[in-house]
Amino acid sequence: MARGDRTTLADVAADAGVSVSTASLAFSGAGPVAPKTREKVLASAARLGYRGPDPVARSLRRGETGVIAVVVGDRLQRSFSDPVSTQTLDGIAQELGERGLGLLLVPSDTFGDVPPLLRHGAMDAAIIAGLSAPGDPALRALRERGVPVVCIEATRRDASTVEIQDRAGTAELTGELVALGHTRIAVITLPFGPQRHRRFFDPAGDVRPAYTPTRNRWAGVRDAGVLPVLAVEPATSLVDEGVACGRMLLDRPDRPTAVVAASDLLAAGVLLAARDLGLRVPEDVSVAGFDGVDLPWLAPDVLTSVTQPLTEKGRTAARAAAALAAGEKPRHHLLPVTLRTGTTTGPAPR
């Protein structure tokens, strides 16, 4: 509400010569009101320039705000460079919009300080849309306030969750590569946790990333019976980073014949790096990604990838949040993925 001297329901009621309660009913429609009376009230409202019930007062009275907070990565410019984020957010926004719920966008890293809004903002529930590691302070802050939470791509008790078949999807994808005869396969994972750095790691070692999808997609590779010849943890899941990781993997004598990247953006980067190094894809090296996002600027290539239903993921999360706000119990959702064979994978070179 704009500050200042609004006309209130009481003014309207007075003008119409009815009681406030009757005027209220005329607006909300809840309860029996004589058509004539309603007309009168509406007319008075129009005359006085009354814009309908004050949302804040209504919220206070009804005990609900109609607002769902959506927590995304701290740097929007970065988060939103990833179609995975934007498409998910789009799904959330669509579903919330259709339900008349508000979307409070809260940028917050899942480590470090929690923005005051998360502690004090008005909300009925929250969706943590960015990657969230165990002990996530944002999640903790929300819990302490008693705000019900939906986590996307994170395994949590006491919260609703929306996940996809990361593990099975990656296993299937990797299996395809094996079937094509590849034995020297390299992997680029997702970032392991909040402290981001680019590095080789020992694929035979004890690999336990804090982030759930990172862990699951890695497990999927192993499920396919593959022990990567090289494994890189990237600092982010963006194109630039894919280029950098691609160089590390491809610009060496013992380069692999196939690279499985845990995201399409990373895979796209690898593709660019390969082109830059004069390698043909897929003749010299196969490249596969994950997410199934649309990357038109990669044309004429189309990434071989695992397609996940991003918009539906967002919608599911939004529905889950609405359900929690309505007092339902937390639930866990698992969405299916499908393999998409593009132009970037082929038989292993001999």
User: In 3-state terms, what secondary structure has residue 283?
Assistant: coil
- Report, in Å, the least distance between residue 101 CB and DNA: 16
| Cβ–Cβ under 8 Å, residues 122 and 82 | no
Of 49-57, 134-142, 150-158, 255-263, which segment contacts DNA by CB under 7 A? 49-57
Q: How far is CA 73 from the centre of its chain?
A: 10
Of residues 320, 322, 291, the one with CA closest to residue 306: 291
Task: Please enumerate in sequence order all residues whose Cβ is within 8 A of that of 106, keeping only pairs 6 or more positions apart, or say none.
Answer: 69, 70, 71, 72, 115, 117, 118, 121, 126
Structure tokens at 286: 């196969």
Residue 234 binding a copy of itself, by CB under 8 A: no
Task: Please enumerate in sequence order all residues whose Cβ is within 8 A of that of 181, keeping only pairs 6 or more positions apart, or say none.
Answer: 347, 348
In the bound state with DNA, the residue whose beta carbon lies nearer, of 22 and 257, is 22
Of residues 232, 237, 218, the one with CA closest to residue 131: 237
Residue 124 binding a copy of itself, by CB under 8 A: yes
Residue 205 binding DNA, by CB under 7 A: no
Burial environment of residue 130 by CB neighbours within 10 A (0 to 12, 13 to 18, 19 or more)? buried
User: In 3-state terms, what secondary structure has residue 282?
Assistant: coil
Residue 103 binding a copy of itself, by CB under 8 A: yes
Of 31-39, 86-94, 166-174, 339-347, which segment contacts DNA by CB under 7 A? 31-39
Residues in the chain, overall count: 350
Among 43, 46, 49, 60, binds DNA (CB under 7 A): 60
Of 11-19, 161-169, 260-268, 323-331, which segment contacts DNA by CB under 7 A? 11-19
In the bound state with DNA, the residue whose beta carbon lies nearer, of 63 and 278, is 63
Residue 105 binding a copy of itself, by CB under 8 A: yes
In the bound state with a copy of itself, the residue whose beta carbon lies nearer, of 92 and 177, is 92
- Report, in Å, the least distance between residue 329 CB and DNA: 22
Among 145, 184, 332, 333, binds a copy of itself (CB under 8 A): 145
The total of other beta-carbon atoms located within 10 Å of residue 14's CB is: 15
Whole-number Å distance between alpha carbons of 91 and 127: 12
Among 2, 14, 30, 333, binds DNA (CB under 7 A): 30
Whole-number Å distance between alpha carbons of 146 and 187: 40
Residue 146 binding a copy of itself, by CB under 8 A: yes
Of residues 271, 266, 240, the one with CA closest to residue 187: 266
Residue 32 binding a copy of itself, by CB under 8 A: no
Provide the binding-site residues for a copy of itself, judged by CB under 8 A.
1-4, 6, 51-57, 59-60, 63-67, 70, 75-77, 80-81, 83, 86-87, 89-90, 93-94, 97, 100, 102-107, 115-117, 119-125, 144-148, 239-240, 243, 268, 272, 296-297, 299, 311, 325, 327
Provide the binding-site residues for DNA, judged by CB under 7 A.
6, 8-10, 17-22, 24-25, 27-28, 30-34, 36-37, 52-54, 57-58, 60-63
